[in-house]
Structure 1
Amino acid sequence: MPASHFVAPAPDDVIQRRNMVDCQIRTVDVTDHAVIERFLEVPRDRFLPPELATFAYSDMPLKLASVGPQSEARQLLTPAVLARLIQSAAVKPSDKVLDVASGNGYSTAIFAGLAKEVVAVDADAIRADVIKTNLAAVGLGSVRVLTGPLTEGAGSDAPFDVIFINGAVESHLDQLFRQLRPGGRLVTILHGTEASGSGACSAVRYESQAGGISSLILFDAEAPVLSAFRKQAEFVF
């Protein structure tokens, strides 16, 4: 009689990650194998507070409460939007990535398996500590997490091949553009009429070229505007 082979069932979080990838990420034309594998590998629930962990693999918007005096509430990008944006950044294994306003460290962890080097920056020291703790919990404690104004990026670590902004922007990208190396890409969500002239928000990829910065609208996407990147109100007399 042949010996039987018992195959242990996959842990529940592994199954949920697979369902997230199959039902949310693959269905929006994310085909990059490395990106898909990274979303299968990184446990999103480890990057959420206990009250949100149950919803880690859903496609619903998840809000992170403010955690410190320089902090603001954040809404995490849905897995589908995040995956499409990261695929659009075309990260190579030799790249250096700046992850701006990571919020909880999840996007930083995704990039850490795609690029040679990743630096995360957040404006609030308490939130930066949360990011460090979350990254260490999944074995990524060596990733550098900085504290500073979001619009200033990480000039001492520049240039970067990819800069990723977790949230929507209206303005104040010039300093980040200067931190891109030639051919470098900045990927974010551009808010309202700044993106399309129609009031809709769009995912946008900027690229540093010899003649300046070019831009390409990628797809419709929604996210709250990060306060640091809000356009100043114009007074009309």
Structure 2
Amino acid sequence: MNLTDIAHSRFNMIEQQIRPWNVLDADILELLSVVKREDFAPAAHRDLAFADIELPLPAGQCMLNPKVEARMLQDLKVQAHETVLEVGSGSGYMAALLAHRAQHVLSLEIIPELADMARANVQKAGLTQVEVRCADGSHGAATDGPFDVIVLSGSVGEVPQALLSQLKVGGRFMAIVGDEPIMRAHLVTRKDATNFTTTEPWDICAPRLVNFAEPSRFTF
């Protein structure tokens, strides 16, 4: 695609996919124009960077649908002074979006090839406030926390309590939780040392993150 086609495709992504999904925050919509999604897509799929689909990544992983990333970003309400933990770096695109909102982003990726890809992409974008680390994100990063925001860029079978414990009071956690064909976004806010509130603002299915526990399926 030439620059005119790219600009047109980006405009259509924002106006035809993302706005209709109740992403109406003007700052978020502007950010989607600033962070070039096509620069984070694999070269073989660059022309599909703005499509309403999940984009394939190495090792059987994928970039989430653009409207899902945008809605998560809007719902988390990340502030400029906050620290963020992301689990599932993928290509680094979500970490890049978060970096424009937060003071610091630590992004964990268990697959070395993807960690290298994400790290190269965020460095190319000049985002020094992002650290991409090759690590098992199912354990979080307790020694680096607590965090204001924790976001899982993929789905899990249940909300991981170990990660909730790494939230600051007032902090927010977001993940897509459940099993196909029904999964829901869970937005959890830590109210104090022992109390949390949860909302489930929208439904979507997303690929599983690696190494997170699955809930018991015992039947009697």
Query: Rg bigger for which structure?
Result: 1
Counterpart among 50, 58, 72 of residue 51 in structure 2: 58
1:135 aligns to what SS in structure 2? helix
* Residue matched to 2:195: 212
Number of equivalenced pairs: 218
* Residue matched to 2:113: 126
Structure-2 separation of matches of 1:125 and 1:141: 20
1:184 aligns to what SS in structure 2? strand
Q: How big is the shift at 1:233?
A: 5.2
Counterpart among 103, 126, 140 of residue 139 in structure 1: 126
* Residue matched to 2:85: 98
* Residue matched to 1:3: none
Contact 1:191–1:225 (8 Å) recurs in 2: no
* Residue matched to 1:80: 67
Query: Alpha carbon RMSD of aligned pairs, Å?
Result: 2.1
1:27 aligns to what SS in structure 2? helix
Q: How big is the shift at 1:104?
A: 0.6
Contact 2:58–2:113 (8 Å) recurs in 1: no
Structure-1 separation of matches of 2:98 and 2:33: 13
Q: How big is the shift at 1:149?
A: 1.0
Structure-1 separation of matches of 2:74 and 2:111: 28
Q: How big is the shift at 1:201?
A: 0.8
Q: Which amino acid aligns with 2:37?
A: R
Alignment of 1:166-181 (within 5 A): 166-171=153-158, 173-181=160-168
* Residue matched to 1:228: 211
Gaps of 5+ in 1: 1-8, 67-72, 194-198
Q: How big is the shift at 1:61?
A: 2.2
Q: Report percent identity of matched pairs.
A: 31
Q: Which amino acid aligns with 1:25?
A: I
Name segments (4+ residues, structure 1) moved above 4 Å.
232-237
Contact 1:172–1:230 (8 Å) recurs in 2: no
Structure-2 separation of matches of 1:129 and 1:141: 15
TM-score w.r.t. length of structure 1: 0.85
Structure-2 separation of matches of 1:57 and 1:153: 30
